[in-house]
Amino acid sequence: MAHCFLQVALDTPLNSCFDYRWSCEPGQEPLVGQLVLVPFARREVVGLIVAVKQDTEVPLDKLKDAIAVRSQLAPLPERWIALAQFAADYYQRPLGEVALPGLPKNLRVPKTVALDRALKKLAKDDSAHDPTPSSMPVLNPAQQEAANSIGGAQGFTPLLLYGVTGSGKTEVYLQACAQVLGRDRDAQILILVPEINLTPQLEGNIRARFPGVMLATLHSSLSEGERMLHWLAAHEGRARIVLGTRLAILSSLPNLKLIVIDEEHDPSYKQQEGLRYSARDLAVWRAHQLGIPIVLGSATPSLETWHHAQSGRYRKLELRERAVRDAVLPTVKLVDMERDRPKDGLTGSLIAALRGRLDRGEQSLLFLNRRGYAPVICCDACGWISNCTRCTAFMVLHRPEHRLRCHHCSLELRIPRHCPTCGNVDLQPLGRGTQRIEEGLAAMFPEARILRIDADSTRLKGSAQEAFDSVHRGEVDILVGTQMVAKGHDFKKLTLVGILNPDTALFSQDYRASERLFAQLMQVAGRAGRAGAASEVLVQTRYASHPLYGAVVRHDYDRFAASLLEERRQAGLPPFMYQALLRAEAPELATAIAFLEAARDSLVFDAVMINDPIPMTMTRVHNVDRAQLLVESASRPALQAFLREWVEILRAMKSRVRWSLEVDPLDI
């Protein structure tokens, strides 16, 4: 029996590749891309074979034998490994930490029972594969042109599908998909959406349109068994359409021919822990690697994407009108809260508008991005307020649950009967969350059917879908919700949107806050009037003359984006500058800052600017203090070269401070 040596990537934070010995006949060696079970640190773990060699530099007495090669599974394609390697290099993480966590859990356990069962189940599936769509609704000329441009694109072609809310972007995607599937009998298409709660609607549309095509879905609320089946269906090329959230960008798709990213501006495409990748950015790289078209769809594109479209690097396709005949964009009105003083959080104008909708049997949506009853309770007698003892944050009052909750560390307390400092029994809620708005509405409109949709009301699996279904069935008159209700949903009877209290974001320190607020307002406003009825949006504000609101009233993304881009250019901010953020956490702020100062002084580099460490805006979370250090460069290659060296130095510092590095950070 001869030997070969396998270089195996493992999911470990430091060194990610290790050599193992494997006994086999010559010519029978395992393949790159196969999974293998190996001993590691007194455990048995599954790794990815990244090289098969005849020699190794590891001394033979230190070398361990691999235990089993998962030969029943087709190897992961080399192009997929190259994608993982690119992500690892770009985000400064070991390959194994990128490649392995994205695989279904059941593939990474020592036993193969689940894998074998799933493979057997898939092999039995002999459903017909007929890409013919069930129907092809007639498109308006702009939609048709967009669908043809996408469906007919050859080679690497990044396209921005810039379409106002309700302009029928989904139909454009579906018809472009039909063209690609009809032309190439093996083609696979990847469609990414920002939220799990948006997939059921789109999933239903795709299934109805392509009844003969296998569809796989990949998102975090699937069971492990489902996830394994769907992942395998994609990996084996059986699933022709894969619909998923950001994690699906790392799925194995041997015949990928088109990528669609819906709502490309959405921040949830960015993973915020572990490997902090942008699924949108990786998707563009993947399309480039494979030489295929990629569509980025949005009514309010990210400034990065808009900038590429303006400079001609991305091709811009425009849908300026709503798809449904006679449907026009809602009229947006600003309600000046200085003149029209609110009662229970609602101005007279908004109350009158709600009354009108109730009388006509139409639906209304009130949008407030703050869950709970009130963001804080306080004592008028001594000034005590409900601070979290572990965070730089307030404990939020959740009245129906009789609890104070910290939304950052999940600390929960019963509502105190009296002030902990002075004993005063008259504690007051300050401000309003969705629960309090719901309560006020119920008192004001006792005959109305009111439904609240937020993270609290939809904690149980399936309850969000149930809630949205009841809105679609017309069983709700007034819907109160957070950002969960802002995206994607097509509520046919909705003719009024009220936006409560958006002002705080106007004065945020985060330079992206206004871009995000604008996108959010346009999104939520876009829920109204999609089926054709005249509709209006009322924005309650204390800053009615702010230019951002002016742009919302005019539905003028173009000019707003142009002015923001000009501001960013002058201030030296992305997309004109590339950034990375080093964060440190320690029980004492001084420790975190000291680590960052040492990091700052550890390397000097041409064309890269290292700023001074600062505490994060929310400094303390769960008894840990947090600080950050921003690194900037006008050159992406310079920043990447710097980061490669820097990460090695930081690892060698062996500090006990917990640190993480984020490339292209979204929140600063």
Which residues bind to Zn ion, rule: CB under 5 A?
A: 379, 381-382, 384, 388, 390-391, 406, 408-409, 411, 419, 421-422, 424
Rounded to a whole number of angstroms, the minimum distance from the CB of residue 404 to Zn ion is 10
Name the nearest CA neighbour of 167 among 201, 193, 139, 189: 139
In the complex with Zn ion, the residue whose CB is nearer, 352 or 422, is 422
Quick check: 651 and 589 in contact, CB under 8 A? Answer: no
CB 551 within 8 A of CB 517: no
How near is the Cβ of 453 to Zn ion at its closest, in Å?
25
- List Cα–Cα distances, 307 to 190, 300, 312, 336, 421, in angstroms: 24, 12, 9, 34, 54
Nearer to Zn ion, 51 or 382 (CB): 382
- Give, in degrees to the nearest 5, the angle at Cα 621 between 620 and 623: 80
Closest approach, Cβ 378 to Zn ion, in A, equals 8
Residue 651 phi/psi, 5-degree rounding, is -65, -40
Residue placing its CB nearer to Zn ion in the complex, 558 or 588 = 588
Q: Angle formed by the axes of helices 636-652 and 589-600, to 10°?
A: 120
Question: Exposed (0-12), middle (13-18) or buried (19+): which is 255, by Cβ within 10 Å?
Answer: middle
d(CA 662, CA 655): 18
The minimum distance between CB 420 and Zn ion, in angstroms, equals 8
Question: For residues 646 and 603, what is the distance between their CA atoms, to the nearest angstrom?
Answer: 7
Nearest approach, Cβ of residue 622 and Zn ion (Å) = 6
- Provide, rounded to whole angstroms, the least separation between the CB of residue 455 and Zn ion: 16
Helix (H, G, I), strand (E, B) or coil at 352: helix
Q: Is the peptide bond before 158 cis (omega within 30 degrees of 0)?
A: no
Which residue, 412 or 510, has its beta carbon nearer to Zn ion?
412
Half-sphere exposure of 363 (CA within 13 A, CB side): 23
CB of 48 to Zn ion, least distance (A): 39
Cβ-based nearer residue to Zn ion, 132 or 421: 421
Closer CB to Zn ion, 56 or 424, in the complex: 424
Comparison of 31 and 422: residue with beta carbon closer to Zn ion: 422
Burial 423-451 (b: 16+ CB within 10 A, else e): eeeebebebbbbbbbbbbbeebbeebebb
Specify the residue, 140 or 392, whose C-beta has the smaller distance to Zn ion: 392
Residue 57 or 426: the one with the smaller Cβ distance to Zn ion is 426
Instruction: Determine the residue type at 571.
Output: A
Min dist CB 431 to Zn ion, Å, is 18
**Min dist. Cβ of residue 529 to Zn ion (A):** 41
